[in-house]
Structure 1
Amino acid sequence: MISVKELTLVSDEQIAWEELGGGIKRKVMSYNDDIMLVKVAFEQGGIGALHTHPHLQISYIASGAFEITIGDDKKVLEEGDVYFVPSGILHGAVCLAAGVLIDVFSPMREDFL
């Protein structure tokens, strides 16, 4: 596995998928201590369980459709849509149509390395 810390020019094929189970896999594309970009692929029916973390998160729906829950809000988002998760807020995703999320975290997620 190559080190992607502060990798400046990243080709998708140079990063291997990490299988997470439940129809979900991810690639940490690049990061430093302040920010991290992660690509997450979901099969239809895949569930990103409700959880919290201290990081700020903003996510772009690159493809597919997802039911996103953030706190008391729930909405179906599709390709081209974005959601923002404040620090410490309960959130999760249910994949309605196979797709990919592009997640950005600040600071970086040490637990993903």
Structure 2
Amino acid sequence: MNLNLSTIPSKEIMPGLHGKLVHSENMSMAFWDVEKGATVPEHSHMNEQIMHVMEGDFEFTLDGTTKVYGPGDIVIIAPHLKHSGIALTACKLLDVFSPTREEYR
């Protein structure tokens, strides 16, 4: 299967968090456009996750530790660890999940 990011419709998964989602049998990718001030409430999930900040400043709390991440920063999130975030500026983020995030289909 071949896709082009420009042809994938965007879904607002949470207020201010707009994602273009790509799924395979074993993984998901989420290309996020995040509005300044948008928050991701604390949560955890069974999926391993890798977050890449492509643009902007994103304050991220992982397992009780809060840091501000900027362009080029990558965070590896183990399954079941609580995490949350807030966009300090407009952001572009890339998340990769394994296994597939079925609730994002």
Q: What TM-score results when the alignment is normalised by the length of structure 2?
A: 0.93
The 3-state SS of whatever aligns with 2:57 is strand
| Aligned residue among 79, 82, 88 for 2:80 | 88
User: Deviation at 1:21?
Assistant: 4.5
Distance 2:64 2:35 in 1: 25
Distance 1:21 1:36 in 2: 17
Q: What TM-score results when the alignment is normalised by the length of structure 1?
A: 0.87
Question: Which region of structure 1 is more displaced relative to structure 2, 92-101 or 18-27?
Answer: 18-27
User: Deviation at 1:22?
Assistant: 2.1
Identical columns (%): 28
Distance 1:21 1:53 in 2: 16
- Aligned residue pair count: 105
Contact 2:14–2:40, Cα closer than 8 Å, also in 1: no
For structure 1, which runs of at least 5 residues remain unmatched after alignment?
A: 1-6
Partner of 1:50 in structure 2? 42
The 3-state SS of whatever aligns with 1:97 is coil
1:53-89 C-alpha deviation (Å, 9 max, x unpaired): 0000001001111001100211000011011110000
Question: Greater RCO between the two (CA within 8 Å, min separation 6)?
Answer: 2
Partner of 1:98 in structure 2? 90
| Aligned residue among 67, 70, 73 for 2:65 | 73
